[in-house]
Amino acid sequence: MQRREALKSLAVLTGGAILVPSCNFEKEEILAAYSNLKVTPAQQSLLAQIADTIIPPGKLKGAQDLAIQDFILVMVNDCVAQTGQTQFTIGLQAFNSFSKKKGGKNFSKLESTAKEKVIAEGLSIGAETTDENQKAVREFLSITKRFTIQGFMMSQYIMTEIKPYSLIPGSYNGEVLISSISNMKIDG
């Protein structure tokens, strides 16, 4: 009889051991694609809103339409030094509290003009500030702005539909009047 009880206990213990790793005890999952950054889907969504505030949709697609937030996270994960990654992560985590302090609400609940104002205030934080969270927010926003512009200008949408890329040297046409050449101005 003891043998049956031992086998039954072993079966229950084995089933429990198999079941426990599949249980998720975390509050929010961390995106595995960005191994150096501990970014949650909510933070990725916040980053998309910030990028979309920097380059909003209009005649051209906005940054969120082109998924620039993924480009930003890949660039920070792969190309930024460890100290910059740490500042970026701290700034991303502290950005909603900064937004509450400057705009009165979470960033996602603000109107577009208030979002622009919060980002402008974050970028204008001086280097002489002693608050580490504010320094991290400034560093986070400057990295985000730089990679948003870079990702937008290098996107397939810009390179194929707005300003088509031609291989160098391109075709040669020796009989073109200079007055017939028009450069597309997308810089503003």
Confirm whether 111 is domain-assigned.
yes
| CA separation for the pair 79, 95 (Å, rounded) | 22
The CA distances from residue 140 to 14, 27, 34, 50, 119, in Å, are: 47, 24, 16, 11, 11
Confirm whether 5 is domain-assigned.
no
Confirm whether 177 is domain-assigned.
no
Mean pLDDT throughout 15-24? 60
Confirm whether 80 is domain-assigned.
yes
CA dihedral of residues 146, 94, 70, 184 (deg, nearest 10): -30
Confirm whether 93 is domain-assigned.
yes
Query: Predicted confidence band at 6 (pLDDT cuts at 50, 70, 90)?
Result: confident
Does 26 have pLDDT greater than 60? Answer: no
| CA separation for the pair 163, 184 (Å, rounded) | 7
The CA distances from residue 50 to 38, 80, 118, 162, in Å, are: 18, 19, 10, 23
pLDDT at 181: 73
pLDDT at 111: 94
Q: Identify the domain containing residue 122 by its residue range.
A: 60-165
pLDDT at 58: 92
Confirm whether 82 is domain-assigned.
yes
Confirm whether 187 is domain-assigned.
no
Please write the tens of the pLDDT for every residue from 101-154: 999 989 999 999 999 999 999 999 988 888 888 999 999 999 999 999 999 999
DSSP line for the chain: -HHHHHHHHHHHHHHHHHHGGGS---SS---TT-TTS---HHHHHHHHHHHHHHS--SSS--TTTTTHHHHHHHHHHHHS-HHHHHHHHHHHHHHHHHHHHHHSS-GGGS-HHHHHHHHHHHHT--TT---HHHHHHHHHHHHHHHHHHHHHHTSHHIIIIIS----SS----S---GGG--------
Query: Predicted confidence band at 1 (pLDDT cuts at 50, 70, 90)?
Result: low
Query: Predicted confidence band at 180 (pLDDT cuts at 50, 70, 90)?
Result: confident
Q: Average pLDDT, whole number, for the chain? A: 85
**Token digits for 42?**
């909510």
Confirm whether 144 is domain-assigned.
yes
Q: What total of structural domains would you count in the chain?
A: 1
pLDDT at 28: 59
